[in-house]
Amino acid sequence: MLRTSLTFILLTIIFSSQKPKKNGVKDLFKESFYIGVAVNGQQVSGKEAGALPLIEEHFNSLSPENGLKWSLVHPKPEVYSFDFGDAYVALGEKMDAFTIGHCLVWHQQVPNWVFENESGEPLDKDKLLARMEDHIQTVAGRYKGKIDGWDVVNEVFNEDGTFRESKWYQIAGKDFIKNAFRKAYEVDPAAELYYNDYNVWKASKRAGILKLAKEMKAEGIRVDAIGMQGHYTLGGPSLDEIEKGIIEIAEAGFKVVITELDVDVLPRPNNSEGADLNINFANSPEYNPFVNGISPEAEAKLAQRYADLFQLFQKHKDKITRVTLWGLHDGKSWLNNFPVRGRTNYPLLFDRDLKLKEDVFAKLKVVSKQ
């Protein structure tokens, strides 16, 4: 008798500890859109203490912060490195998460050899496109059926809507963009395909993006959604500007994905709006005011900014399929090093001790019920 009830108690404990928890951020918005998080290698492998349980509890979509970018996954012509990618998609499968690939073609984090022949001279257009397509074949092909959506092309426009003069563009013109989408579709037609950029809220930049996206659509090239990265600050861009972006993208016939959301709470040097990685300033106390903790005013503003942003996303849930945070917690955010190196920033939903910011969460709860 005693034994039976002990077994019963034990089984109840085991069973209830295995039940998926239903009070995460993802559960607040489960009727609206996926809630994603960008993860790094330490988190995927479970080496960062405490991170993995939070990822599983609060998120139902994953993005790879760096590990699938060209220079990491394909560092040398004949060398591919799939350790991160394999562990990453395995985690995605285990969590039954909507798993994103980021990114197939970008001007950053891409080795110089990609654009050169063996003698170090610039490749011609056909060879560059063949190399790009081969890369897409190998990477997207390996994860076919395991990655649900790809950022196919990242950041190819300037702020005024003209094409960025990257090596891709200098050698291949805009054809590299079209070929990348065509190839990604050929390799994995079941995956969603995205064009992703920062400052999509800016009308001039968005005009260039949507012109090209519509042109591709008219030519039968599939583009499912436009990724608005969402690297915002406490003060800008305005909700109105972001909303115009969401509405215009939807009107042009594309879904919206908020792909890299974070809120910079620190002062920004002039001309550092957005997420252009070429911008980098040296540290100084003026730009690093919260080394020993965020001020109560900034903390309150952060909670309100997140509430306002999610209220806007919630209002447009018919257009938005996913909102992804660019990192799990403040301690690992790229905004500790961009656009000024070595700062103490507070841009995410979890603090440096991996604690959910309760004031943000309380506000999101209210917004999610509206």
The contact set with ligand XIL (CB under 6 A) reads 65-66, 154, 229, 260, 275, 277, 334
Nearest CB to ligand XIL, comparing residues 60 and 154: 154
CA distance 331 to 354: 8
- State the CB neighbour count (10 A cutoff) for residue 275: 21
Q: Which two three-digit tokens encode residue 284? A: 């100084």
Closest residue by beta carbon to ligand XIL? 334
Nearest CB to ligand XIL, comparing residues 106 and 361: 106
To ligand XIL, the closest distance from the beta carbon of 367 in angstroms equals 26
To ligand XIL, the closest distance from the beta carbon of 32 in angstroms equals 24
CA distance 281 to 97: 37
Nearest CB to ligand XIL, comparing residues 313 and 334: 334
Q: Which two three-digit tokens encode residue 205? A: 């930049």
Q: Which two three-digit tokens encode residue 151? A: 């950022």
Q: Which two three-digit tokens encode residue 251? A: 């009107």
To ligand XIL, the closest distance from the beta carbon of 363 in angstroms equals 25
Residues taking part in catalysis? 260
Residue type at position 75: P
Nearest CB to ligand XIL, comparing residues 311 and 331: 331
Nearest CB to ligand XIL, comparing residues 132 and 367: 132
Nearest CB to ligand XIL, comparing residues 213 and 228: 228
Structure letter (DSSP) for residue 253: T
To ligand XIL, the closest distance from the beta carbon of 133 in angstroms equals 21
To ligand XIL, the closest distance from the beta carbon of 277 in angstroms equals 6
**In contact, 370 and 309? CB cutoff 8 Å:** no
To ligand XIL, the closest distance from the beta carbon of 321 in angstroms equals 18
Alpha-carbon radius of gyration of the chain: 21
CA distance 119 to 361: 55
φ, ψ (nearest 5 deg) of residue 218: -65, -30
- State the CB neighbour count (10 A cutoff) for residue 312: 17
Q: Nearest-CA neighbor of 287 among 235, 352, 340?
A: 340
Q: Is 195 exposed, middle or buried (0-12, 13-18, 19+ CB in 10 A)?
A: buried
